Structure 1
Amino acid sequence: MDVYLGGKRIRLDPRASLGKGGEADVFDLGDGRALKVWKTPDHPDYAGQDAEQRAAEGRIEQHQDKLRAFPGGLPDPVIAPLELATDRRRRRVVGYAMRLVRGAEPLLRYGEPAMRHGGLSAAAIPPVLVGLHRTVEAIHRRGVVIGDFNDLNVLVAGGEAFVIDADSFQFGPFLCQVFTERFVDPLLCDPSLPRPALVRPYSQDSDWYAFAVMVMQSLLCVGPHGGVHRPRSAAARVPQCARPLRRITVFDPEVRYPRPAIPYRVLPDDLLQALYRIFVEDQRGVFPRRLLQELAFTRCPSCGVEHARPACPTCAGAAPAAVRETVAVHGELLVTQVLRTRGAVLAASVGASGLRYLVHEDGRFRREDGAVVMSGAPHPAMRFAVQGDATLIGRGGELVVLSPGAAPERLPVDCVGARPMFDVNARHRYIARGGQLLRSGAPGAGALSGEAGEVPIGDVLAGQTVFWAGPRFGLGFYRAGEVSIAFVFDAERPGLKDTVELPFPGGKLTAATCVFDADSGSPPRGGRGRAWLFLAAEQAGRAVHRCVVVREDGAVEATADGEAEGGSWLGALTGKCAASGFLLSATDAGVVRVEVRGGALVEARRFPGTEPFVTQASRLLVGPEGLFVVDAQAITLLRIS
């Protein structure tokens, strides 16, 4: 497809893709601008989706007048249309050019516990929110309402928040008709419906409601309606999606606060009171900016918790030291605490040589034997892995391999967003670079890998390809414009099969992760390997999750869908591992075993005794010793006695 800017033809090259939303594709124009092109009803992403096709047609029709009447004078952090893109005859608007914000992450990431434990300081968050507050005020002064204000249309780069998707703003006669369930003001919804649905026009008050949701989620890693509602009477239980309509929040005593979240008592009482009044008592109006400006976080020297109160609200007094091999019996479980740290566990793996891990504590990156591999502080943009004695650290377009007794090895790699693309198994490391997927032997593998240097596996789309490597095979995909390709590749031999018919969920893909059967040790003999791919998407205002089981021959064996949060095994993408043909999923209620049966994914067994030792944010690793539970500051080994 070609579009025109100022009469000049622009060819939409998938290699210039910056991302895909639920309504549009975005491309890099190469001159400091990005081009947003709305998906037409015949776009491949809408195939077989009649409702989405009709919505696309109506959306494009409205934009013919709306974009030509777009207001000027909006604040600089608003990424507003700079020039309209049209068809060849310049009669029909098909999108627009806008300023390109490089190196940005959606504000959504600030609400992920992994970001906080991976180097994002609590003290770095209030300035971002204060800046966003000023931007919202300035937008309102121009008589404009953001409308569908959510943490995916706020990007953060260099400590500054930018508001994107300006074409959905509400002004004059042009109402915003799309919404996101987690951020829509319940006062604008019909309380008689089973889940939030927009029935009244957006207002400045509804923008401030959404802003308050972002404040809470960014500071505490949980929104106002997170956790699991568990009333004493089963008859009083309310579905997760209906809780905003009933004002059942995390402040409710019958809601189990999610354990991966940051305890809300780390915030000052006046800020907590403001959030309570908004989400429980329906108070509206401009969010009090001083509550954010006055936030002063400090890190407790004893327990390491960051808080904004006069004294640490969680500290018991004594500094927790690293504890190793403390064994206790808990029902049928034999529980061994392998590690506890005041810092953060950054990476872990289980292989033939046992458990290996990387910890950051007291300004140093240490391996499981206490060896210091590097000094400094982790950064949220860093990605870590351990492979035998080697430590791999990726940031930006570079992967650094640190091996004992060897000089650091630096490798250029592609990035997808801010994520450097590499992965490892016990034998090899894999990287994407310049349109190729490459494999090399593990550092020090020598004759084990049987290779020298890098071996091309196959061609992929540069800067757009995400992939994962298992012991037998790997899985990956790239999506750009109208192109969606998924592939599998053998862990040992060159070549990839790019005909995998991966059923992507509709809407904007927000996250993806994957685990493989037999994730530890050498590839098993015989049998059939599986990849368990987990995808998150914003779809028609809802956060949905999908699990897709792919065999090593590329065949899709089973799929399952679920909603974010709610406590099910699909409520989070994290906390998964696979072994011997089944999946183990960590939830806040304990570990769940999931199996493939007749093309369906079935919850086969629950392990309620594991509840005290796992959360949905735990990383699980299966080894000969049992199940390792890797949390932000601890590693625990669980064995059924």
Structure 2
Amino acid sequence: MRVVIGGKRVRLDPRKVLGEGGEATVLLWAERGARRAVKLYKADAAQRLPKLSALVAVGPALDGIAVLPQAIVHDEATGAAIGFTMPALEPGFEPFALLSRESFCAAAGLDLARLLAAVHRLGYAVRRLHDAGIVVGDFNDQNELVRPSDGAVAFIDCDSFQLANLPCEVSTEAFLDPLLYGPDAAHPCATADGAPRWFGRGSDWYSFAVIAFRSLTGVHPYGGTDAAHPTLASRARAGRSVLSRGVVVPPKTRSRIEALSDSLLDGFARVFEAHDRRPFSLDDLRSASVGIRRCSCGLELAAGRRACPRCTAAGPVRAGRVSTETLASSDGGFFAVAADATRWSALSREGRDVVATIGSWGRGDSVRRVVAAAAGPDTLVRLAPVMAAVCTRSGDFATLVLVDLSSGVRVSESTTEVAMGAPAFELGDGCAYRIAKGTVIELRADVHGRVEEVPIGSVVSEQTVLHRAGRGVVAVTAVLGRRSYQWLGRSGNVELDVPSLDPGEALITEWIAAEGDLAIVLRHTLLGGVEHVRTTLLDRRGTRLRDRVEAASARRGGAALQGGVFSRGRVLVATDIGLVRHDPRTADAVPFADTEPHVVAECPLAAGPRGVLVALGSKLQLLSLA
């Protein structure tokens, strides 16, 4: 497509998609060695010009902390403004939302001190924005990014910022200051007259405190349960946080909260219970990172915490309908698990290595450990019971190495494309997948360790990512606002009838799985400031069997999607209330309350013949449900 930037005609490659949102598509623009990004709106952008021009003017002063507009982009044919250019972030940045997931932190090597350092940097960035006359407004954990390797932070979606007389016109319910709620209790993002609300520095510091608290504890400050205030929004209005007496949270979460320093907890209480909107103390964040120690149970404790809240609170766990068995322990945190009928395996990060722990289902059998890969900021690892796929990005391509976990020996090395900022690869049942020049290739090792490569389908090059799907793979392609889904395998390829998102609806995450003749697509989305979960069940012909959309707040287990198991047409996922089994055919959700002490939201699961394998911190446990 051809556009005009700075008076010069430019050709943009629609295959270079960096991101897709409800309002715009972001493309990579590389010219003469310089890498920049171009944000193209899906609707007319004329009304955005005054704010975009103002942001272009302040951009140079905030380089390094906010991805601000640099130049306006015009349509070549009509001359209309259709977007803007901005710096292209280097690889490695992830949404702050991921910091609330223990498995992500384990894979990235993020301990409590590094989490505190990242949150401190975010607070410093907020100060700089305020000093420049900018209010973030729609401040949430999807539009603030962090690079785990060095703690660098960056604001994106900066065209929504508020400055001078130009308002921020969007909000996200989970991060909106309750002092700014609209009159409708069921829809707090909606204002009385439909006009944009005016945010302030105080509301930014409120949102910052929510992000900080979630990153450090894994729970929203107004999470938990309170009989008198059944919804998050009602608890926020009443100032009933998880720090309040009588608000119930899982014991594992309560211990993470109580392990923080008193000064931090006092600061959070002032924000969430006394509605204090003064700038959060960055000194408290800095001092809290000094003197942290790790208890033998794995919980990290602030300096001065003599007793571990997890150990002192632990009493006899009610067995109920679940029995537990610890299969392995790790000096680092487990972040991936896999299992089949005879074997299981798990990955943990220990120092500079990614270590695989392997065992079999026979009682008393020995457990082995091998180094699967060197841990690094550009390295991703996928796991199967007897194999690991190690992918290391380098520019527009990535090196893919298959490792036999029984010996630790590399059995194959090849390359794969990078799509939407991430390497396009996956590891399935006994085989791996990569993409080369738009061709999806299956890699399968024979009994002698030789790897056979078989092309199984064609996709759009550099715009397709892969998801494991039983004895195949689902290829998801994004082309200028449209996503398509293909189920590929040696038995044949089909297009999946996955419905498009509504206008203005943004995809946060998606989880795809398949078993036998069924596939499921779960999507966590944001529309009108409210989080939703879309569930789509399909058959092997690609026909849609069920489709359901529900608010995340009304769903058992909320928006927990990742790390689950798809078996017998149902999804089992770890949530804050324990394991929950969702049946997409009937929309039934069955919680297993007795598992609540043994899991946290979205911890990795794998199904085996003796129960469910759970990766939780430094322990690998087997849960057997009655």
- Is the TM value for this pair above 0.5? yes
Aligned to 2:439: 436
Contact kept? 2:145, 2:156, Cα under 8 Å: yes
The alpha-carbon deviation at position 270 of structure 1 amounts to: 0.9
Residues 557-572 of structure 1 mapped to structure 2, 5 A cutoff:
557-564=545-552, 568-572=556-560
CA distance in 2, matches of 1:608, 1:425: 31
CA distance in 2, matches of 1:500, 1:238: 36
Aligned to 1:137: 127
Identity %: 27
Question: Of 284, 302, 306, which aligns to 1:308?
Answer: 302
Aligned to 2:69: 81
The alpha-carbon deviation at position 463 of structure 1 amounts to: 3.5
Aligned to 2:363: none
1:638 and 2:623 matched: yes
Alignment gaps of 5+ in structure 1: 41-56, 321-327, 518-527
Moved more, 162-171 or 290-299: 290-299
The alpha-carbon deviation at position 89 of structure 1 amounts to: 6.6
Amino acid at match of 1:229: T
1:135 and 1:385, CA in 2 relative to 1: closer, same or farther beyond 3 A? Answer: closer
1:368 and 2:354 matched: no
CA distance in 2, matches of 1:609, 1:308: 30
Aligned to 2:481: 482
CA distance in 1, matches of 2:424, 2:307: 39
Residues 185-584 of structure 1 mapped to structure 2, 5 A cutoff:
185-190=177-182, 193-197=185-189, 199=191, 200-226=197-223, 228-231=224-227, 236-258=228-250, 261=253, 263-297=256-290, 298-300=292-294, 302-311=296-305, 313-314=307-308, 330-361=319-350, 365-369=355-359, 370-374=367-371, 378=375, 382-396=379-393, 397-403=398-404, 404=407, 406-407=409-410, 409-416=412-419, 419-442=422-445, 444-446=446-448, 452-490=451-489, 492-493=490-491, 496-498=493-495, 500-504=497-501, 507-517=505-515, 529-564=517-552, 568-584=556-572
Contact kept? 2:358, 2:369, Cα under 8 Å: no
CA distance in 2, matches of 1:575, 1:501: 21
Q: Deviations over 1:230-277 (max 9, x none)?
A: 42xxxx242234332222222123333256757112221111111110
The alignment's TM-score, normalised by the length of structure 2, stands at 0.85
1:16 and 1:571, CA in 2 relative to 1: closer, same or farther beyond 3 A? Answer: closer
Amino acid at match of 1:110: L
CA distance in 1, matches of 2:400, 2:451: 18
The alpha-carbon deviation at position 343 of structure 1 amounts to: 2.8
Contact kept? 1:230, 1:254, Cα under 8 Å: yes
Aligned to 2:362: none
The alpha-carbon deviation at position 334 of structure 1 amounts to: 4.2
The alpha-carbon deviation at position 63 of structure 1 amounts to: 0.9
Amino acid at match of 2:482: V
The alpha-carbon deviation at position 33 of structure 1 amounts to: 1.1
CA distance in 2, matches of 1:580, 1:152: 33
Amino acid at match of 2:513: V
Q: Deviations over 1:471-524 (max 9, x none)?
A: 34432312131332211112x34x53346344446522121222333xxxxxxx
The alignment's TM-score, normalised by the length of structure 1, stands at 0.83
Moved more, 275-284 or 303-312: 303-312
Amino acid at match of 1:161: V
CA distance in 2, matches of 1:207, 1:337: 43
CA distance in 1, matches of 2:3, 2:303: 54
Moved more, 183-192 or 68-77: 68-77
Alignment gaps of 5+ in structure 2: 192-196, 360-366
1:259 and 1:616, CA in 2 relative to 1: closer, same or farther beyond 3 A? Answer: farther
Residues 72-221 of structure 1 mapped to structure 2, 5 A cutoff:
72=58, 74-76=61-63, 77-88=65-76, 91-103=79-91, 104-118=93-107, 119-157=109-147, 158-190=150-182, 193-197=185-189, 199=191, 200-221=197-218
Residues 9-28 of structure 1 mapped to structure 2, 5 A cutoff:
9-28=9-28
CA distance in 1, matches of 2:595, 2:408: 40
Contact kept? 2:400, 2:413, Cα under 8 Å: yes
Contact kept? 1:562, 1:570, Cα under 8 Å: no
CA distance in 2, matches of 1:270, 1:260: 21
Residues 4-43 of structure 1 mapped to structure 2, 5 A cutoff:
4-30=4-30, 31-40=34-43
The size of the alignment, in residue pairs, is 591
CA distance in 2, matches of 1:265, 1:316: 9
CA distance in 1, matches of 2:67, 2:429: 44
Contact kept? 2:328, 2:620, Cα under 8 Å: yes
- Describe the SS at the equivalent of 1:179: coil
Contact kept? 1:356, 1:367, Cα under 8 Å: yes
- Describe the SS at the equivalent of 2:209: helix
Contact kept? 2:564, 2:574, Cα under 8 Å: yes
1:439 and 1:610, CA in 2 relative to 1: closer, same or farther beyond 3 A? Answer: same
Aligned to 2:612: 627
CA distance in 2, matches of 1:359, 1:250: 30
Contact kept? 1:512, 1:534, Cα under 8 Å: yes
Moved more, 189-198 or 9-18: 189-198
CA distance in 2, matches of 1:214, 1:640: 35
Contact kept? 2:15, 2:463, Cα under 8 Å: yes
Contact kept? 2:535, 2:584, Cα under 8 Å: no
CA distance in 2, matches of 1:256, 1:634: 25
- Describe the SS at the equivalent of 1:484: strand
- Describe the SS at the equivalent of 1:456: strand
Moved more, 609-618 or 22-31: 609-618
Aligned to 1:613: 598
Amino acid at match of 2:219: V
1:556 and 1:188, CA in 2 relative to 1: closer, same or farther beyond 3 A? Answer: same
CA RMSD of aligned residues (A): 3.1
Aligned to 1:601: 587
Contact kept? 2:178, 2:233, Cα under 8 Å: no
1:602 and 1:166, CA in 2 relative to 1: closer, same or farther beyond 3 A? Answer: same
Amino acid at match of 1:453: E
CA distance in 2, matches of 1:78, 1:610: 42
The alpha-carbon deviation at position 430 of structure 1 amounts to: 1.5
1:267 and 1:501, CA in 2 relative to 1: closer, same or farther beyond 3 A? Answer: closer
The alpha-carbon deviation at position 28 of structure 1 amounts to: 0.6
CA distance in 1, matches of 2:563, 2:403: 27
- Describe the SS at the equivalent of 2:173: coil
Contact kept? 2:20, 2:26, Cα under 8 Å: yes
CA distance in 1, matches of 2:477, 2:419: 10
The alpha-carbon deviation at position 85 of structure 1 amounts to: 0.7
Contact kept? 2:72, 2:84, Cα under 8 Å: yes
Contact kept? 2:384, 2:428, Cα under 8 Å: yes
- Describe the SS at the equivalent of 1:64: helix
CA distance in 1, matches of 2:562, 2:334: 15
Contact kept? 2:494, 2:540, Cα under 8 Å: no
- Describe the SS at the equivalent of 2:347: strand
The alpha-carbon deviation at position 4 of structure 1 amounts to: 1.5
The alpha-carbon deviation at position 35 of structure 1 amounts to: 0.7
- Describe the SS at the equivalent of 2:165: coil
1:439 and 1:341, CA in 2 relative to 1: closer, same or farther beyond 3 A? Answer: same
Contact kept? 1:303, 1:315, Cα under 8 Å: no
